[in-house]
Structure 1
Amino acid sequence: MTTHALRRVSDLLEMIKFSHTIFALPFALTGMVLAADGVPSAGTVLGIVAAMVGARTAAMAWNRLADADIDAKNPRTAGRHIPAGVVGRGEAWALVVGGVVLLEAAAWFLNPLCLRLSPLALAVIFLYPYTKRFTWLCHYLLGLALAAAPLGAWIAVTG
């Protein structure tokens, strides 16, 4: 991989705060282990990790897209990847779509209930950036999104 390609990947991972995704994984994996009363199959573990990565990637990229115009006007946030021109809107949209596809594929692989409930997770993800604009209750919606990880993992194991 060339230096330029590595820089692009690094920029995209920084924009979606991939390190925070890694930090959030133990919460989902804890729900998984508790539901399985041990360690489930490798396929289940990979499916849950894929769902988490997909959901967080879509959520963070969508959040950055939804706020890009506002961020550009705010000196504190004007240096974020999209307003600063480091990441293009098309690239951010590709991350949103890719994240949703990964989440949906993982939900389909895990079990029918995960697939049926996945639109609820996506609704929370796509609604959150807009709630920041009109209510302090947005923090509860964000908390719901974060709390859904262990519950989703539980459902992935138990069906």
Structure 2
Amino acid sequence: MTDTGQRPEQNGQVADAVKGNWVDTLAPVSTRPYLRLSRADRPIGTWLLLLPCWWGLMLATLHTGTATLYDAWIALGCAIGAFLMRGAGCTWNDITDRDFDGSVERTKSRPIPSGQVTVKGAVIWMVAQALISFGILLTFPPAAILMGVIALVPVAIYPFAKRFTWWPQAFLGIAFNWGALLAWVAHTGSLDWPPVLLYLAGIAWTLFYDTIYAHQDTEDDALIGIKSTARLFAENSPRWLRNFLMATVMLMALAILLALLPNGNPLQLVLALAAPWAMGWHLAWQLRRFDADDHEGLTRIFRSNRDAGLIPVLFFALCLLA
């Protein structure tokens, strides 16, 4: 291939996109700016939104001891909805942050600050994604529909959180892990303590991985007055990350105990409790590799959380077969 001498962002690619992703290589050229706006070139966010949904659904099926074909649709609907709502949320984030993104090295190549998409076009794209996602939500039970509508509140607030609090990662956790509650309600019809504890475990997990991710932008954020847990914790970040790791493991384990002790057999209980234990080891592996000055390494650690979040899915699936 001939070297044109152009940087990726000069071809419309976003600086921190996955190299060789399908958006930049296979998608029609006219759709690429909008797919980039939805972060389709960086699929990790969709995984991080989807995985708590699958945790909640699978723990609910273990709790009730029943799994139906409709549960398969809930799992698929959550997957499609996660892709669409992550896209809508990222579009909303970029609309609200358009004046900041151009001042940050990692984000100045995004579609709005780079001029690939107008604000009006972004708004239309956001609404289209949200409406399709809402259509999927309408196939769920009424209680789950209500949960989905309530989820829009933290999604709307999150982009502004970094302007008024040092804990915007907590707001991200509130928004990104809502699926654990929604999927449980979609299966059982009501809330209970196990999904609430699972939700809190997800928030702790988000604080872990997004604090790591935010360390890439601490210098730029300080210059433009953006707050984050990475800036707040600074050199104490490893200690805080260790606390978030332990909270994730303990809260998930407690959620499993409350869900399975009434009905689960001993083998299911052992397999289920292995989920937070194994996930905790993965997070510990990430923590050992944490280096706040290695931006490429921070990105790799952040993206590895897809595998971390899939660990409970694997163990819960084994429980369903036990």
TM range (shorter): 0.7 to 0.9
Q: How many residues align?
A: 156
Q: Which amino acid aligns with 1:14?
A: R
**Structure 2 counterpart of 1:23:** 47
**1:34 maps to 2:59:** yes
Cα offset, 1:46, TM superposition? 2.9
1:95-110 superposed matches below 5 A? 95-110=125-140
Q: Distance in 1 between matches of 2:68 and 2:51?
A: 13
Query: CA distance change for structure 1 residues 156 and 95 in 2, over 3 Å: closer, same or farther?
Result: farther
Q: Which amino acid aligns with 2:138?
A: W
**Structure 2 counterpart of 1:151:** 181
Q: If each structure's helix is expressed as a fraction of its own residues, which one has the higher value?
A: 1
Q: Distance in 2 between matches of 1:22 and 1:135?
A: 25
Q: Structure 2 residue aligned with 1:91, among 111, 121, 134?
A: 121
The question of whether the paired residues in 2 share the 8 Å contact of 1:50 and 1:102 is answered with no
Worse-superposed segment, 108-117 or 41-50 = 41-50
**Structure 2 counterpart of 1:78:** 108
Q: Structure 2 residue aligned with 1:120, among 116, 138, 150?
A: 150
**Structure 2 counterpart of 1:65:** 95
Q: Distance in 1 between matches of 2:177 and 2:75?
A: 18
Q: Distance in 2 between matches of 1:117 and 1:22?
A: 19
The question of whether the paired residues in 2 share the 8 Å contact of 1:48 and 1:156 is answered with no
Cα offset, 1:51, TM superposition? 2.6
Deviations 1:70-111 (Å, cap 9, x if unpaired)? 223x14232221010122223321232123212322222111
Q: Distance in 2 between matches of 1:83 and 1:10?
A: 15
- Taking only aligned residues, the RMSD between alpha carbons, in angstroms, comes to 2.4
Q: Distance in 1 between matches of 2:74 and 2:164?
A: 39
Identity, in percent, stands at 28
Cα offset, 1:23, TM superposition? 2.1
Query: CA distance change for structure 1 residues 95 and 21 in 2, over 3 Å: closer, same or farther?
Result: farther
User: Which stretches in structure 1 are left out of the alignment for 5+ residues?
Assistant: none
Q: Which amino acid aligns with 2:188?
A: T
**1:140 maps to 2:170:** yes
The question of whether the paired residues in 1 share the 8 Å contact of 2:52 and 2:178 is answered with no
Cα offset, 1:40, TM superposition? 4.5
**Structure 1 counterpart of 2:141:** 111
Cα offset, 1:44, TM superposition? 2.3
Q: Distance in 1 between matches of 2:137 and 2:27?
A: 30
Q: Which amino acid aligns with 2:75?
A: V
